[in-house]
Chain A
Amino acid sequence: MDFLIQLVTDPLGFWSSHTLLISQIAINSILASSMFVVLYSGQLSLAAPGFMAIGAYTAVLMDIYLHTPLALNIATGTVLAGIVGIVVGLPVLRLRGVFLAIATIGFIEALSLGVILNLPITGEGLGLKNANADPLGGINLVLVSLVVIVFLLWRLTKGRLGYAWTAIRQDELAALSQGIDVPRYKLIAFVLSAVLAGYAGGLESHLNFFVDPNEYGVPRTVQVLTFAVLGGSGNVVGPVVGALFITTLPYVFQQAGDYIGIVSGVILIAVIIFRPQGIVGRGGFAFVRPRWWPTARASAPSTG
């Protein structure tokens, strides 16, 4: 509770004492947005940590061996994640539902066993030292990135692309009958998701003096999926709220100590039972809006 009290009574002090936490929330939020894009197009892809690892390792390795500037390092990692996204996406996107989930977990495992844990250049599983990391200085870049990404995704979901994704998510066969090139739009979503994850990985590596291979495995993917499910994946804000919620939970319930796992588990179950569409439903913040708030559309009487 001290955490929330400080946030209200002393925002500036909160900002300076929790800089790293705020950055981490923002990075998790970008990851959650990456998950949002695939879920919004109806694909249960769990590949995000893999692309994140590509972004992180590429950026740090470039810094170590080529001494190139930070912006170029992160950009290269992001682009590389996108390219790998195309290569992985083309075959894998023929799969649906839980089969796609398993295939993408396979991708994470293959990347982890084949590259991260095995090659001398990636430290053979011991991780990489990142001497030029800047844990506190990155916060502005991270926050601006998050705002821009959420804005762009919000715009995208409102346009032709967003309609196509929604149609595919709701019913692939019906989407085909409306002239929507389903494989193409699925691939676009998958690659965009890979790019966002790669970017988040690059940013995260810049905040840590050590790139830890254990960060990019299946537990991370489960965490990111939880952000999206808890926040709700029908609206771009949902996964961000989910990331904020879950990342701050241990701080809000500091007194819970080692029992934090139980507390967050109970909260998760409660949300899923009482609000299965997520904290933020499809209608944005309709749920937190008071009853008397003017709504844009006249509510039709429900006779169904």
Chain B
Amino acid sequence: MLLRLDNVQRHFGGVRAVDGVTLEVEKGAIQGLIGPNGAGKTTLVNVVTGYVPFQSGSAWLETDRISGLSAHRIAGLGIARTFQNIRLFKDLSAVENVVVGMHSRRPDDTLAQLGTLPVFRRDQRARLNEAHRLMEAAGLDPGEVAHRPAGTLPYGDQRRLEIARALALQPRLLILDEPAAGMNPSEKQGIRELIERLNQEGLTILLIDHDMQLVMGVCTRVAVLNFGRKIADGTPEEVSTDATVIKAYLGTGSEREVSSAPGATGVEEVADVVKAAGRTRSAAEPATAILDVRDLSVSYGAVNAVRGASLRVAAGEVVALIGANGAGKTTILSALSGLIRPSSGTAVFDGIDLTSAKASTIVRHGLVHVPEGREILGRQTVLENLELATWARRDQTAAAAAITAVMKRFPILGERRNLRAGTLSGGEAQMLAIARGLLARPRLLLLDEPSLGLAPQMVDEVFGAIEEIHRDGTTILLVEQNALRALAIANRAYVLETGQILLSGSGDDLLHNPAVRRAYLGG
């Protein structure tokens, strides 16, 4: 056994980010670690690598106890890692980045090099040669990239350079935190081949990724986290058919109405709930749309986050946009609300061109964005947060009435009106964010991941609120990773994969579509 974690715990305040995880990684394995957003995967990695102190439990790397050691000691013992959001030394050249990685096994030459220049030169040449070899091993062309500042490399090359730098430690265990995030399918294939090749050369790898095709395809074993606990551990086949795992990923339709019978897939249960709701749905795109998006593409530097997405939303609809992490959902919403500019394509909302209008103009026309992560003002009270949302209105009596109305809709906000918004729970904060959005008098409300990081009961409440808002006549475009929950309330939905619309249809159709499940679980 190479890495052994025993009952590892890490709580942040009241949040049990990692709640008693026991995990063993065998030597020579590719161990996968998956779980929905907020499941505690990155926290677990940060605890194991010493970035976040242990709270309780223990961790061993072969015979070395690593719990309680500082991050640089753990790295020195042979656990190398990459970071979710690439942390290269941006201004150093690529080859210098790799040379830095040799630090812990390089003898202290400080005094030697002050005098003996030739010896230092020879050693440095050896280091540079080794760095070139490591870059080649990570699939980079040293002749092409070695002397370019790391920050100027294309995105995929930066990911590979981070792996090359990690290899410079000559690690016993390599932890890859979302190495394929934001990559297109062919780049992902390249990463997959790289992981397999490194493993064949004898390196043990712990892989965290949201791309199920990658994880299920490459790992020998997969562990699944949810709400800080390990809910499954086994071969990819075992894990991808595990009922608890499917439920954790696709979400449940509703805790109150769905029985969690063993062996149930979750999908049929939610379909029943949807049928019971008895809504009529049309799969066809509406002829007249309040929002009309065509061939929208957005790129961040070298990353093409959205590639030619087209979608339409008619007045009075709830439309869901679902897809795995990094599929481009949030990017589409940000492009629609004018926060980022698309590189090509058109987006028209009620006669105004969203690709060129100012963000403030877009809001005034009634397209209101409730962002992921809520972005409420934590140091202001709930009431102050709401008052700020009506600040630009001329008619302050109407504004006060509107605030009273949203407090009636969200009674919990009325109760907590004088509390600081930062003390609210995640669900309450989400309510506040939605309430604030409503005060901007939306005709089209963009909701980004309203259930992110919420406990199941809170998810029910938030979705209940969304349905009510819809009943009162607001059109909603909903981005959600809890796909089943979103499909259950949506008239229509679009499935997004790596920046492209894969499928569209009524909520019902998509619920039963195997491709939807594949987009999430890679099965």
Q: Interface on A for B, CB 8 Å cutoff? A: 152, 155-156, 158-161, 163-164, 166-167, 170-171, 173-182, 282, 297-300, 302-304
Q: Return chain B residues, CB-CB under 8 Å to A179.
A: 72-73, 75-76, 103-104, 169
Chain A residues with CB below 8 A from B147, complex form: 297-300
Interface string of B63-107 (1 = CB under 8 A from A): 000000011110110001101000111111000100111011011
| B103→A160 contact, CB < 8 A | yes
Whether B87 pairs with A174 at a CB distance below 8 angstroms is yes
A171 contact set on B, CB distance < 8 A: 87-90
**Using a CB-CB cutoff of 8 Å, which residues 43-76 of chain B contact chain A?**
49-51, 70-73, 75-76
List 17 additional contacts besides A163-B96, A177-B49; criterion CB under 8 Å.
A156-B110, A156-B113, A158-B120, A159-B109, A159-B110, A160-B103, A161-B110, A166-B89, A166-B92, A166-B100, A170-B91, A173-B83, A174-B83, A175-B100, A178-B100, A179-B75, A302-B148
Closest to B80 in A: A177
Majority secondary structure of chain A interface residues (helix, strand, loop or mixed): helix
**B113 A282 Cβ-Cβ under 8 A:** no
Whether the Cβ atoms of B114 and A163 lie closer than 8 Å is no
Task: Find the B residue at minimum CB distance from A181.
Answer: B72
In the complex, what residue of chain B is closest to A173 when comparing beta carbons? B87
- Total chain B interface residues with beta-carbon distance under 8 A: 46
In the complex, which residues of chain A have a beta carbon less than 8 angstroms from the beta carbon of B108?
A: 160-161
Which chain B residue shows the least CB distance to A155?
B114
* Pair B75/A176 contact, Cβ less than 8 Å: yes
The 8 closest A-B pairs by CB, nearest first: A179-B104, A179-B75, A170-B89, A176-B71, A174-B87, A179-B76, A304-B152, A159-B113
| Contacting pair A303 B154 (CB below 8 A) | yes
Question: Given A178-B104, A179-B75, A180-B103, are A173 and B51 also a contact pair (CB < 8 Å)?
Answer: yes
Return 10 A-B CB contacts under 8 Å, by A number: A155-B113, A160-B107, A170-B89, A170-B92, A174-B83, A174-B88, A178-B101, A179-B75, A300-B148, A304-B153
Contacts of A180 in B (CB 8 A): 72, 100, 103-104
Contacts of A177 in B (CB 8 A): 49, 71, 75, 80-81, 83, 87, 166
Q: Distance in Å from the Cβ of B149 to the closest Cβ of chain A?
A: 9
Select from chain A the residue with minimum beta-carbon distance to B147. A297
Residues of A within 8 A of B113 (CB): 155-156, 158-159
Q: Please, which residue of chain B has its CB at the minimum distance from the CB of A182?
A: B72
Instruction: Give chain A residues whose Cβ lies under 8 Å from the Cβ of B107.
Output: 160
Give Cα A174 to B89, complex, Å.
Answer: 8
B472 interfacial contact with A, CB 8 Å: no
- For B90, the chain A residues whose CB sits under 8 A away are 170-171
With A160-B108, A178-B101, A180-B72 already in contact, the answer to whether A302 and B152 are too (CB < 8 A) is yes
Using CB atoms, name the residue of chain A closest to B86. Answer: A174
Q: Indicate with 1 or 0, residue by residue over B128-170, a CB within 8 angstroms of chain A CB atoms.
A: 0000000000000000110110001110000000000110110
Interface centre among B107, B110, B153 (most CB of A within 10 A): B110
A304 & B154 in contact (Cβ 8 Å cutoff): yes
Q: Does B277 contact A (CB under 8 A)?
A: no
CB distance from A8 to the nearest CB of B (A): 34
Answer yes or no: B276 CB below 8 A from chain A CBs: no
Q: Which residues of B contact A164 (CB under 8 A)?
A: 100, 103
Taking CB atoms, residues of chain A closer than 8 Å to B100 are 163-164, 166-167, 175, 178, 180
Asked whether any CB of chain A lies closer than 8 Å to the CB of B302, the reply is yes
Point out the residues of chain A lying under 8 angstroms from B81, CB to CB: 177
Query: Given that A176-B75, A177-B71, A300-B144 are contacting pairs, would A163 and B91 also be in contact in the complex, using a CB cutoff of 8 Å?
Result: no
Shortest CB–CB separation between residue A259 and chain B, in angstroms? Answer: 38
Query: In whole angstroms, how far apart are the Cα atoms of A18 and B71 in the complex?
Result: 53
Q: Specify which of B50, B70, B120, B145 is in contact with A159 (CB 8 Å cutoff).
A: B120
Cα-based distance from A178 to B168 in the complex (angstroms): 9
C-alpha gap A302/B169 in the complex (Å) = 29
Nearest Cβ on chain B to A134's Cβ, whole angstroms? 30
A160 touches B106 (CB 8 A): yes
Partner of B145, one of A167, A174, A300: A300
Chain B 400-425 interface 0/1 with A at a Cβ cutoff of 8 Å (1 = within): 00000000000000000000000000
In the assembled complex, the Cα of A211 lies from the Cα of B124 at a distance in Å of: 46
A164–B76 alpha-carbon span in the complex (Å): 14
Bound-state CA distance A285–B104 (Å) is 32
Contacts of A174 in B (CB 8 A): 83, 87-89
Which chain B residues border A152 with CB–CB below 8 Å? Answer: 114
B119–chain A nearest beta-carbon distance, Å: 11
- Chain B neighbourhood of A160, CB < 8 A: 103, 106-110
Q: CA–CA, A93 to B245, complex, Å?
A: 46
**C-alpha gap A234/B86 in the complex (Å):** 23
Report how far A180 CA is from B144 CA in the complex, Å.
28
Q: CA–CA, A174 to B91, complex, Å?
A: 13
Which of B91, B99, B100 has the largest number of chain A CB atoms within 10 A? Answer: B100
Find the B residue at minimum CB distance from A184.
B72
Which of B81, B83, B89, B90 has the most chain A CB atoms inside 10 A of its CB? B89
**B76 to chain A: which residues have CB within 8 Å?**
179
Q: How far is the CA of A167 from the CA of B90 in the complex (A)?
A: 10
> In the assembled complex, which residues on chain A have CB atoms less than 8 Å from the CB atom of B154?
303-304
Given the complex of chains A and B, what is the CA–CA distance between A181 and B31 in angstroms?
A: 29
With contact pairs A158-B113, A178-B169 given, residues A282 and B87 touching in the complex (Cβ less than 8 Å): no
In the complex the two chains form, is A176's CB within 8 Å of B114's CB? no
State how many angstroms separate the Cβ of A184 from the closest Cβ of chain B: 9
Q: A295: shortest Cβ distance to chain B, in Å?
A: 10
CA distance A164 to B165 in the complex (A): 14
Closest to A298 in B: B147
A residues in contact with B169, CB < 8 Å: 178-179
A181 to B169, CA, bound (A): 14
* Closest partner residue, chain A, to B105 (CB atom): A179
Cα–Cα, bound, A182→B103 (Å):
12
- A28 to B89 alpha-carbon distance, docked (Å): 31
Whether A178 and B103, one on each chain, are in contact in the complex, defined by CB atoms closer than 8 angstroms, is: yes
Bound complex: CA of A177 vs CA of B51, how far in Å? 9
List B contacts of A167 (CB < 8 A).
89, 92, 100, 103
CA distance A176 to B104 in the complex (A): 10
Closest CB-CB distance, B49 to chain A, in whole Å? 7
With a cutoff of 8 Å between Cβ atoms, the chain B residues found around residue A302 in the complex are 148, 152
Q: Cβ of B110: which chain A residues have Cβ within 8 Å of it?
A: 156, 159-161
Measured CB to CB, the nearest residue on chain B to A297 is B147
- The CA of A161 and the CA of B87, in the complex, are separated in Å by 20
Most chain B beta-carbon contacts within 10 A, residue among A163, A166, A299, A303: A163
> Closest B-chain residue to A159, C-beta based?
B113
Residue from A166, A178, A180 having most chain B Cβ neighbours under 10 A: A178
A173 to B103, CA, bound (A): 15
Measured CA separation A161–B154 after assembly (Å): 29
Report the separation of the CA atoms of residues A210 and B152 in the bound assembly, to the nearest whole angstrom.
Answer: 53
Choose among A152, A167, A177, A182 the residue with the greatest number of B CB atoms under 10 Å from its CB.
A177
B305–chain A nearest beta-carbon distance, Å: 17
CB distance from B445 to the nearest CB of A (A): 37
- Across the interface, which residues of A come within 8 angstroms of B124, CB to CB? 158
- For residue B148, which residues in chain A have a CB less than 8 angstroms away from its CB? 300, 302, 304
CA distance A282 to B169 in the complex (A): 26
Query: A294 to nearest B CB, angstroms?
Result: 15
